[in-house]
Amino acid sequence: MTGEGETRAADALVIPPAELDQVVRHLRRALPNEGVGLLGVERVERGAEVIALARQFYPGSNCRASPTRYEMDRHDLIAALRDIDRRGWELGAIVHSHPLGPARPSPTDLAEFQYPEALMVIASFGCDPPDLNAWRLELEGESWRSRNVPILDDDGWKTGPLIAETGPRRE
């Protein structure tokens, strides 16, 4: 079942422009609170790297209705995970926003992180246009260490330079 695997999170995330636009619009509508959603992905191996190809964004409701915390509504979460499993995809990313803070994991994000096989995608609306970054979290001792991974559009991963040579995508 999604969320229970031992698969590590991807080395890069590919989000087609239309899907990325849907993510940003959903998170913007949640302001001034944090927004939340999930990305269902197909994992593709490219040499030694694993690429997560976003197939569908699942918008969720933040049942905490808070500008500093998020928790995806249980019904939204279950429906999304079931659909991801039904389609043979994987949970590729947990997406949320920081209305004013930077697009990097906060101490609260790290303390509440539960899905090491998924990336954490954070959009910061403290700037215009919003800053969007993806993070792979790895357990180091008893705490999480975050590593920024690139977000590419669907053409960039096929024809662009090696992923290790690309930076995060800014929106």
Distance (Å, rounded) from C-alpha 92 to C-alpha 94?
Answer: 7
> Is 153 in contact with 16 (CB distance < 8 Å)?
yes
What does DSSP say about strands 12-14 and 49-60: parallel, antiparallel, or unpaired? parallel
12-161 CATH: 3.40.140.10
Closest to 121 in 3D by CA, of 143, 156, 148, 85: 148
List the domain boundaries for the chain: 12-161
| Residue 100: alpha-carbon gap to chain centroid | 18
Q: Is-catalytic flag, 34?
A: yes
Rounded CA Rg of the chain: 15
108 φ/ψ angles, rounded to the nearest 5 degrees: -65, -45
- From first to last of its 171 residues, the chain has per-residue pLDDT tens of 444 446 789 999 999 999 999 999 999 999 999 999 999 999 998 888 999 999 999 999 999 999 999 999 999 999 999 999 999 999 999 999 999 999 999 999 998 998 989 999 999 999 999 999 999 998 888 888 899 999 998 776 654 443 333 344 433
Strands laid side by side in the 119-124 sheet: 143-149, 131-140, 119-124, 90-98, 36-46, 49-60, 12-14, 151-152
The pLDDT of residue 7 is 78
| Set 6, 19, 34, 142: catalytic member | 34
**Do the beta carbons of residue 86 and residue 52 sit within 8 Å?**
no
Cis previous bond, 150, omega within 30: no
What kind and span of H or E run contains 105? none
